[in-house]
Structure 1
């Protein structure tokens, strides 16, 4: 009797310790996993703006080469809705952690292979074709990363601290971007331009071999959250994606439109880099100057993300998301003017304001907000599909912007800045219709 009573008295404390340990493991897994995956993804986006136009798409028309290179950046997002459905279904039916390992392995292998691709001058049209195939694999893989890692964290977190803990996976993505730039920047600065274009850019891609090993070691011992384990006991044979489209089409559409706030990043850190650096635009920024700007912006963002995640637990998700979307859209206009004037200090200040402050208000919060819109059995699929369809649409913005404002166009900051603002107003309007789930229990 005494032994039984003692055991029963210890159980709540033990359960609390186990729960706390699992939450820390989930948060760390989400943080470092996102860091490794987005290291790979950032490498490609920067190379698409800085290197690939001349290495893989040589043409007599610089504008065509730029559009083609930035289109391959967008192509990776075409595969993301497909990856979201496939990997989201796997995560909702067979467990979050299995998908996290699969996604990381695919991303690491694809990025490694980009580093050994032959150039257009060596194999002709086969070079960009292979580049597009590998970019599709990258997009497919990353579609499952954020949805599964955030679900893992959110489902382990206490209701009052979901925003804070879920922000760690978003912070990890910024750390991954910082690591990518930390490798790219010294190479671009130290090597002669010809050497960097020939082989220097490949080194960071080849280092992705580490991801293949790290993916297994980091995530093999993650425990599934209790909410998922409870749901998995229910014998349901419905496909999550089919149920999602049948029962939650309105919420899915709202989240997709809200995700268009990502146009802030594509207008500033993708098109803005292309506008400032490519010779055909005549602005005259160097590769190393923009890499420094992006590195500082990502470093500042890594600091602000947990802050905004915590604030979302206090003030609600929607207030931060709407403020961030509108503020980032407005700031893109003077940012592009600063690029046009080749004002390094002003580009840096406005870049930090647009991306590290306003955009991170949205970015640090949206993942938790979207997870709160869907029940456990559909959570990863609902999040992944809505996020990745919206990202796919936003990802083609740089190529569209280049078509709208090719080299030689006047008033480029006004044309692209106003377009960006209009899109963010639409995104903010959609956010108004999200359920403000901060502090509430997750839907089962």
Structure 2
């Protein structure tokens, strides 16, 4: 945090995008609010992925064989990704017409409460077929909430930040997923280590979901204290808000939308392959203990945070595009070594495999916090950045565990690594076509 308030020049801290919002105090508040919000919402999202890999197949799909039960569990997991573009459209519409702050409060409530209700949902043994159906519904609502979260949090940071430090301030919402994943994995690891298997599968896995009630209260307290972004306030003062932002994005920014989504594919693919799928693969196929894999995932998460912070903060000087391309190139190589390292079953090499994959993801993901918003004009920025981000999630995150499960069963683990490398190539080609944006004016 020292960089946020002590190293900024007097000009930058008093003359940000709008003069009265450029003080170091207001910038600190915005950085904290954007960070805490994304950390909470991604915690909510990630605990579902961990539960899907470890326990939801037996709790909600006990009548299926192990492979199909795992696929069914991952399918409910994928439902939220299908809902996220819808959330981008809904929240983006109001975010570009009403304002960033109020929309972020609603998305936090929707995401947090739907997550908490998963912890209260009885399993198949109690409700029969209604249990997985209600699980799918809650997961769908989760996706809608998260679909509106990232774009608003990124814009909150970027539109308040001085021009020369947009990458730095965008690093804070980008760190939210690292902290959310660390918290989600950490609490599952503590529960797995302290409870016997029967207790963990019966009720222990519900505790992380129920904690969302408390986290939502914390997030609301923080977010209600921030102001509207100065860049959007100018649009509202001039009465220039878009009437149908999503339509304007499709008409005027379809190229940035599709290429931006393509650039995000590898970030999602790396993350959900290295976490959700690898957790299921290592515990189910390789026979590595659940406690060991959760502990190794915690170590790997540190690599994600390091890559995210390093690339995001360096992007103000080196450029967003250059660092994203570097991350894609690293991911092409790492996809080929990921599963050979994992298949050794050595804890050190497994940690290296997962950590390397998440570091590559962080290098791509970190600069995206500023890059995607900078691709779009203020009138449609919420809708455009959110849609690009979440369409990339559908292509890279929703299907990755499903495709990886099928590939491994049919062709072995090495085929999953080739799949990861192929996603990295697609993202690299998309970003190559896009321009550098760090010198653009947001207004």
Tell me, what secondary structure is at the counterpart of 2:288?
coil
Tell me, what secondary structure is at the counterpart of 2:263?
helix
Give the Å deviation of 1:338.
2.5
Contact kept, 8 Å, 1:334 with 1:413, in 2: the verdict is no
Q: In 1, Cα distance between the equivalents of 2:15 and 2:424?
A: 47
Tell me, what secondary structure is at the counterpart of 2:147?
helix
1:340 to 338, 343, 350: 343
Give the Å deviation of 1:18.
5.0
Q: In 1, Cα distance between the equivalents of 2:262 and 2:439?
A: 24
2:261 to 235, 247, 256: 256
Q: How does 1:15-414 map to 2 (within 5 A)?
A: 15=19, 19-236=23-240, 238-261=243-266, 262-278=268-284, 281=285, 283-356=286-359, 358-394=360-396, 395-406=398-409, 409-410=410-411, 412-414=412-414
Q: In 2, Cα distance between the equivalents of 1:377 and 1:227?
A: 10
Q: In 1, Cα distance between the equivalents of 2:21 and 2:110?
A: 34
Tell me, what secondary structure is at the counterpart of 2:134?
helix
Q: In 1, Cα distance between the equivalents of 2:413 and 2:327?
A: 20
Give the Å deviation of 1:341.
2.6
Contact kept, 8 Å, 1:258 with 1:430, in 2: the verdict is yes
RMSD: 1.8
Q: Which range is displaced more, 94-103 or 205-214? A: 205-214
- How many residues of Structure 1 are paired with residues of Structure 2 in the alignment? 426
Equivalent in the alignment of 2:429: 429
Q: In 2, Cα distance between the equivalents of 1:345 and 1:355?
A: 15
Give the Å deviation of 1:221.
1.9
Instruction: Specify the structure having the higher radius of gyration (Cα).
Output: 1
Q: In 2, Cα distance between the equivalents of 1:388 and 1:397?
A: 14
Taking a change above 3 Å as real, the CA distance of residues 235 and 441 of structure 1, as seen in their structure-2 partners, is: closer
Gaps of 5+ in 2: 1-13
Q: How far does the alpha carbon of each residue in 1:196-223 deviate from its partner, in whole angstroms, 9 at most, with x for none?
A: 1111111111111113322321111211
Gaps of 5+ in 1: 1-10
Tell me, what secondary structure is at the counterpart of 1:176?
helix
Contact kept, 8 Å, 1:297 with 1:355, in 2: the verdict is yes
Q: Which range is displaced more, 241-250 or 293-302? A: 293-302
